[in-house]
């Protein structure tokens, strides 16, 4: 058994930067804990104060990993409630460009990108030149002290990868110039917003600026629907089916999923009872006939608030939830009709390439329309994404819809976001994420998709 060490580590969230973590050390042997954290790439910002700031926003995960290693070494570790909440939070990147990856594989990809970032930051990887290939940043550089291996880098932030290797800097630069001569620039690319935020997080800060620990749970309060409690999804579905005799239910033999089918057999609901909170827990699908391919489908995660789901079920109960023109493309009028409640409510409207986004004043809820996915119905990408949380890249919940989802249904859901209300019995820690997800698919040389994605609409 490891002898106790006279060192105490208090791990907490960063007082001013989202996702970053801090460590405050005390005790006669605090130096031992400091060296262990430095080895894990925590940065000393003041005497016995360290910060972990990453470009993949996985600091809570790695803070927990550090806590486990420190505890195993005989060091006392305290994790504050708000950091523990961040550790327990599960999330996925919206529109992740490698959809075949599991959550652990996504974290592995991100950690490799983090290692590249750290190698550049510590001067172990010298970047000779960079360019923009029309989709993302590419660069060429050479490792120092590692046999002089030169690498071709593709992507930014948590998606940066080593796409090729070369025996010498000259060989690497010649190959890079051959492809990117017109856009080639010397040295590393300018810092991304995410990289700049990490630099700022590692700056000196005032520990007294940290928020106090969460106060005891307040009384229930009325809040916008998108901020309401998750509620009891099973009870919501039971109440819906009990009130509408034109729907029939059956449950799988494993008792994990309930299927609800309208008497016309052209509208179906699937409710996965034990789904992870951030995974799909609801799927609604509409069909032209009982035996045809589905016309459209909609999914919602297990953390979607009950008021939003109630809006969805109410629309389906009206009998026109499956009324849509099969095969008709999305038009400007479709988009306008679907988002009119947001426009009327004064939500910010922005266009970013293929994405059109509507965001509320507080930037903690929004709707995204993907024009590319809309014109490619066989794509696995969501055409519509309704979300709430720190950002669309790290949402608390999401509801996604395929190209032919009726504008009337989308408008009802948008109305719920803009004007609906619900009850919240706890006050979550508000964190504003600044992640920027590059959605250009990356293609690691050593990895390809092994299964063909579903072609359902």
Which of 34, 53, 88 terminates a domain? The answer is 88
Note whether residue 335 is domain-resident: yes
**Pairing status of strand 76-79 against strand 397-401:** unpaired
Shared domain for 151 and 179, answered yes or no, is yes
Shared domain for 256 and 286, answered yes or no, is yes
Shared domain for 43 and 129, answered yes or no, is no
Note whether residue 261 is domain-resident: yes
Alpha helices by DSSP H, listed for 212-280, are 233-243
Q: Tell me if residue 319 falls in helix, strand or coil.
A: coil
Shared domain for 230 and 113, answered yes or no, is no
Encoded tokens for 114: 């983090």
Shared domain for 181 and 287, answered yes or no, is no
Nearest to 456 by CA among 268, 233, 316: 268
pTM as predicted? 0.51
Q: Which residues pair with 76 in a beta bridge?
A: 8
Shared domain for 257 and 340, answered yes or no, is yes
**What CA–CA distance (Å, rounded) separates 340 from 413?**
11
Note whether residue 216 is domain-resident: no
pLDDT of residue 97: 85
Shared domain for 115 and 14, answered yes or no, is no
- pLDDT averaged per 10 residues in sequence order, the chain, 457 residues: 79 88 93 92 91 93 94 92 87 79 89 92 89 92 82 94 92 93 89 88 62 53 91 92 90 78 91 85 91 90 94 84 54 93 95 94 94 85 93 90 92 95 66 34 34 32
Q: Which residue has the tokens 């990289």?
A: 195
pLDDT of residue 134: 86
Note whether residue 446 is domain-resident: no
**Pairing status of strand 280-287 against strand 267-272:** antiparallel
Shared domain for 243 and 383, answered yes or no, is yes
Note whether residue 45 is domain-resident: yes
pLDDT of residue 196: 87
Note whether residue 444 is domain-resident: no
* CA distance between the termini of the chain: 57
Shared domain for 341 and 240, answered yes or no, is yes
Q: Tell me if residue 90 falls in helix, strand or coil.
A: coil
Domain count, the chain: 3
pLDDT of residue 322: 53
Note whether residue 434 is domain-resident: no
Nearest to 23 by CA among 55, 56, 65, 73: 65
Q: Which residue has the tokens 């493309």?
A: 329
Q: Which long-range contacts (CB under 8 A, 24 or more apart) does 180-186 make?
A: 180/131, 180/133, 180/138, 183/131, 183/132, 183/133, 184/129, 184/130, 184/131, 185/129, 185/130, 185/131, 186/128, 186/129
Nearest to 301 by CA among 387, 369, 429: 387
Shared domain for 363 and 402, answered yes or no, is yes
Note whether residue 394 is domain-resident: yes
What is the signed CA dihedral for 351, 135, 388, 102, rounded to 10 degrees?
160
Task: Give residue 180's domain range.
Answer: 103-190
Shared domain for 280 and 159, answered yes or no, is no
Shared domain for 248 and 393, answered yes or no, is yes
Residue 421, CA atoms < 13 Å, CB-side half-sphere? 5
């Amino acid at each position: 058994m490891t002898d106790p060490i006279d060192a105490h580590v208090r791990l907490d969230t960063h007082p001013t930067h989202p996702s970053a973590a801090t460590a405050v050390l005390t005790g006669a042997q605090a130096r031992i804990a400091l060296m262990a954290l430095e080895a894990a790439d925590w940065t000393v910002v003041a005497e016995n104060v360290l910060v972990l700031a990453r470009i993949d926003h996985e600091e809570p995960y790695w803070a927990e990993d550090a806590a486990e290693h420190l505890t195993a070494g005989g060091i006392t570790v305290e994790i504050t409630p708000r950091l523990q909440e961040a550790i327990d939070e599960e999330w996925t990147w919206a529109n992740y460009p490698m959809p075949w990856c599991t959550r652990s594989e996504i974290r592995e990809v991100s950690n490799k990108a983090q290692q590249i970032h750290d190698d550049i930051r510590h001067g172990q990887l010298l970047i000779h030149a960079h360019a923009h290939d029309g989709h993302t940043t590419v660069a060429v550089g050479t490792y120092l002290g590692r046999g002089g291996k030169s690498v071709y880098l593709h992507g930014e932030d948590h998606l940066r990868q080593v796409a090729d290797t070369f025996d010498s800097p000259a060989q690497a630069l010649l190959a890079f110039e051959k492809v990117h001569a017109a856009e080639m620039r010397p040295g590393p690319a300018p810092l991304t917003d995410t990289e700049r935020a990490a630099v700022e997080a590692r700056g000196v800060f005032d520990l007294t600026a940290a928020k106090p620990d969460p106060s005891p749970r307040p009384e229930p309060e009325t809040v916008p629907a998108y901020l309401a409690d998750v509620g009891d999804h099973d009870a919501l579905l039971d109440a819906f089916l009990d009130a509408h005799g034109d729907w029939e239910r059956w449950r799988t033999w494993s008792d994990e999923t309930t299927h609800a089918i309208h008497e016309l057999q052209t509208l179906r609901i699937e409710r996965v009872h034990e789904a992870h909170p951030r995974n799909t827990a609801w799927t609604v699908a509409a069909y032209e006939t009982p035996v045809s391919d589905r016309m459209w489908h909609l999914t919602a995660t297990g953390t979607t608030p009950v008021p939003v789901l109630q809006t969805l079920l109410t629309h389906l109960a009206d009998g026109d939830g499956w009324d849509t023109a099969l095969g008709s493309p999305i038009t400007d009028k479709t988009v306008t009709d679907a988002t009119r409640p947001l426009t009327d409510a004064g939500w910010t409207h922005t266009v970013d390439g293929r994405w059109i986004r509507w965001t509320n004043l507080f930037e903690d809820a929004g709707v995204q329309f993907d024009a590319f996915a809309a014109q490619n119905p066989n794509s696995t990408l969501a055409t519509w994404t309704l979300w709430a949380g720190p950002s669309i890249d790290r949402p608390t919940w999401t509801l996604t819809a395929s190209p032919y989802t009726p504008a009337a249904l989308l408008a009802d859901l948008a109305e719920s976001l803009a004007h609906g209300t619900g009850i919240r019995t706890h006050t979550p820690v508000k964190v504003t994420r600044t992640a920027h997800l590059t959605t250009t698919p990356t293609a690691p040389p050593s990895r390809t998709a092994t299964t063909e994605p579903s072609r359902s609409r």
